[in-house]
């Protein structure tokens, strides 16, 4: 959805024409695979982070257009709501001191953006869900003034045909309705991209699916929404419900949601794009003038614009991506499960863990997805979202006996996945100093059973114990979070509670 689209009415023939173009694109995509036209391995990774704008009082600020004008950098762009921004870090080759370089670039970018936002009495907060968001903040009038967001909202609302129901039963229960997709904007995430060859795509995607629960367990950072304490990672249920085009009757019939974990392991990237066509009607039936098959016949590289746009309206937690760089097509796995924050070192540690463990799992002689039922992976994902660092997950037993067993997420990560991540980073050629620094952050979170979500919850309850009311406690937690975010020490070292403000730099 980062591409520019032009809003306009659609007539009855537009969806049929779009469906025909999608089929053409899928045939073209298959031809590209068969003709081995895709880029060779370059070990490229990329990083995007969605951000929040908040004032010194911890409350959201609806002013992304003004802040972006101040920042004046192509690295920053709008996101769905006026209190959102996104920062994009240029692709890097995995290897050497890549994670230290990423950390330095991110600190520089965020520090600059925050200084510019402060000129407007706002600040940048890197967090999964801003705790101080209220229902009145998440309405259609606060969507960014960009055609693609307005059009997407209108089409999802029209497809659903009624208000969206938000129901999350966690530590507390939230039940409310929304007339727009604006609640989706509360979900600010980190997207990790990995360029892969077609031959390796399925193994990497399956490995990423298998490890999503562990990522969430150690990285959860979204325990609050609309003043309620919900799941430790409340983004996934919120995102699914706030983009759900299915009224209850279609849900009962088993129609797939557009925000989707999936339902099976795969053997090729083609399967995911084909599923997109088979299961999901077009939301934005905008057709390009390109004839992809003619472009292929003439030796060119088709943009497959309809395929790309349709894929961008289906929110898989691990999404296939088709792209073109320097005239050469490539494939990426986009990992979308992690919340933003808490600090730069935490974000980079999450990335190092992901890239390492996915590499190792994808190259195992007995892949985990041949030993773990897909239903167990999906159930693990839900458990990790609900319980975070305290989750218990199903995982294949070691040894010759086979089957699965239930283990504490922290034990699974510490005893099995961190050694795999270490081996995977070695295989990428990452320097041992980089590897050890960032993986030690994950290890310490497991040892202390602490992540962003547990710190937020503990600090909130400490504020309540000190006599603050609920809204004041959430605001105090948000202010303290932002202070510690810019100090920059990893979240497992953060003191619980909200004493006198710490100095920033």
Could you tell me how many residues make up the chain?
505
Q: Which of 102, 84, 106 is nearest to 1 (CA)?
A: 84
d(Cα 220, Cα 233) in Å, to the nearest integer? 5
Q: Spell out the per-residue pLDDT of the chain, length 505, in tens.
A: 444 455 456 777 888 999 999 999 999 999 999 999 999 888 999 999 999 999 999 999 999 999 999 999 999 999 999 999 999 999 999 999 999 999 999 999 999 999 999 999 999 999 999 999 999 999 999 999 888 899 999 999 999 999 999 999 999 999 999 999 999 999 999 999 999 999 999 999 999 999 999 999 999 999 999 999 999 999 999 999 999 999 999 999 999 999 999 999 999 999 999 999 999 999 999 999 999 999 999 999 999 999 999 999 999 999 999 999 999 999 999 999 999 999 999 999 999 999 999 999 999 999 999 999 999 999 999 999 999 999 999 999 987 678 999 999 999 999 999 999 999 999 999 999 999 999 999 999 999 999 999 999 999 999 999 999 999 999 999 999 999 999 999 999 999 987 654 444 4
Is the N-terminal amide bond of 342 cis, ω within 30° of 0?
Answer: yes
- CA atoms within 13 A of residue 238's CA, in its CB half-sphere: 32
Residue with tokens 């998440």: 138
d(Cα 335, Cα 318) in Å, to the nearest integer? 5
- Residues 425, 360 contacting (CB under 8 angstroms): no
Q: Which two tokens stand for residue 188?
A: 């600010």
DSSP 184: G
- Residues 337, 354 contacting (CB under 8 angstroms): no
Q: Which two tokens stand for residue 334?
A: 């986009």
Q: What is the pLDDT of residue 7?
A: 45
Q: What is the pLDDT of residue 503?
A: 46
Q: What is the pLDDT of residue 402?
A: 80
Q: Which two tokens stand for residue 20?
A: 């025909």
Where are the alpha helices (H) located in 305-343, listed in sequence order? 305-311
- Residues 192, 45 contacting (CB under 8 angstroms): yes
d(Cα 50, Cα 468) in Å, to the nearest integer? 30
| Displacement of CA 26 from its chain's centroid (Å) | 25
- Residues 355, 192 contacting (CB under 8 angstroms): yes
d(Cα 498, Cα 37) in Å, to the nearest integer? 56
Q: What is the pLDDT of residue 9?
A: 64
Element holding 333 (H helix, E strand): strand 328-339
Residues 362, 365, 366: CA angle, nearest 5 degrees? 90
Q: Based on the number of CB atoms within 10 Å of its own CB, is 167 exposed (0-12), middle (13-18) or buried (19 or more)?
A: exposed
d(Cα 423, Cα 316) in Å, to the nearest integer? 28
- CA atoms within 13 A of residue 187's CA, in its CB half-sphere: 21
DSSP 503: P
Q: What is the pLDDT of residue 39?
A: 93
- Residues 455, 342 contacting (CB under 8 angstroms): yes
143 - beta bridge partners? Answer: 81
| Region class of 467: left (phi > 0), else alpha (psi between -120 and 50), else beta | left
d(Cα 43, Cα 349) in Å, to the nearest integer? 18
């Amino acid at each position: 959805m980062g591409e520019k689209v032009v809003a306009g009415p659609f007539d009855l023939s537009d969806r049929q024409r779009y469906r025909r173009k999608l089929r053409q694109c899928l045939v073209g995509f298959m031809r590209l695979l068969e003709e081995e036209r895709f880029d060779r391995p370059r070990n490229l990774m990329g990083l995007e982070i969605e951000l929040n704008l908040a004032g010194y009082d911890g409350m959201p600020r609806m002013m992304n257009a003004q802040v972006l004008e101040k920042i004046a950098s192509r690295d920053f762009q709008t996101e769905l709501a006026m209190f959102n921004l996104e920062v994009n870090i240029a692709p890097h080759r995995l290897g050497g001191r890549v994670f230290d370089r990423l950390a330095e670039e991110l600190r520089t970018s965020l520090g600059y953006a925050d200084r510019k936002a402060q000129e407007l009495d706002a600040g940048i907060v890197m967090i999964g869900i801003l705790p101080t968001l209220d229902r009145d903040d998440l309405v259609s009038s606060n969507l960014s003034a960009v055609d693609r967001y307005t059009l997407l909202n209108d089409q999802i609302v029209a497809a659903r045909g009624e208000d969206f129901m938000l129901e999350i039963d966690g530590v507390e229960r939230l039940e409310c309705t929304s007339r727009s997709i604006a609640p989706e904007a509360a979900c600010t995430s980190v997207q990790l991209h990995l360029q892969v060859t077609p031959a390796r795509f399925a193994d990497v995607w399956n490995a990423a699916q298998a490890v999503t629960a562990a990522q969430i367990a150690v990285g959860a950072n979204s325990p609050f929404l609309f003043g309620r304490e919900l799941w430790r990672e409340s983004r996934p249920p919120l995102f699914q419900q706030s983009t759900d085009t299915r009224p209850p009757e279609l849900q009962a019939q088993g129609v797939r949601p557009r925000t989707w974990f999936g339902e099976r392991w795969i053997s090729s990237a083609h399967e995911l794009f084909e599923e997109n066509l088979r299961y999901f009607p077009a939301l934005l039936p905008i057709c390009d003038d390109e004839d992809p098959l003619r472009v292929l016949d003439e030796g060119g590289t088709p943009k497959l614009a309809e395929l790309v746009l349709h894929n961008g309206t289906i929110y898989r937690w691990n999404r296939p991506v088709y792209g073109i760089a320097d005239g050469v097509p490539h494939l990426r796995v986009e990992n979308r499960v992690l919340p933003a924050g808490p600090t730069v070192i935490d974000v980079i540690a999450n990335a190092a863990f992901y890239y390492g463990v996915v590499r190792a799992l994808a190259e195992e002689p007995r892949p985990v997805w041949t030993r773990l039922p897909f239903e167990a992976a999906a159930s693990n994902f839900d458990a990790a979202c609900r319980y975070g660092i305290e989750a218990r997950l199903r995982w294949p037993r070691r040894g010759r006996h086979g089957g699965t067993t239930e283990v504490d997420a922290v034990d699974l990560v510490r005893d099995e996945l961190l050694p795999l991540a270490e081996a995977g980073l070695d295989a990428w050629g990452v320097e041992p100093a980089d590897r050890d620094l960032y993986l030690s952050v994950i290890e310490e979170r497991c040892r202390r059973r602490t992540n962003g979500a547990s710190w937020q919850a503990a600090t909130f309850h400490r504020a309540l114990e000190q006599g603050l009311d609920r809204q004041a406690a959430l605001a105090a937690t948000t202010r303290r979070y932002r202070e510690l975010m810019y100090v920059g020490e990893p979240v497992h070292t953060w003191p619980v509670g909200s004493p006198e403000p710490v100095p920033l730099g």
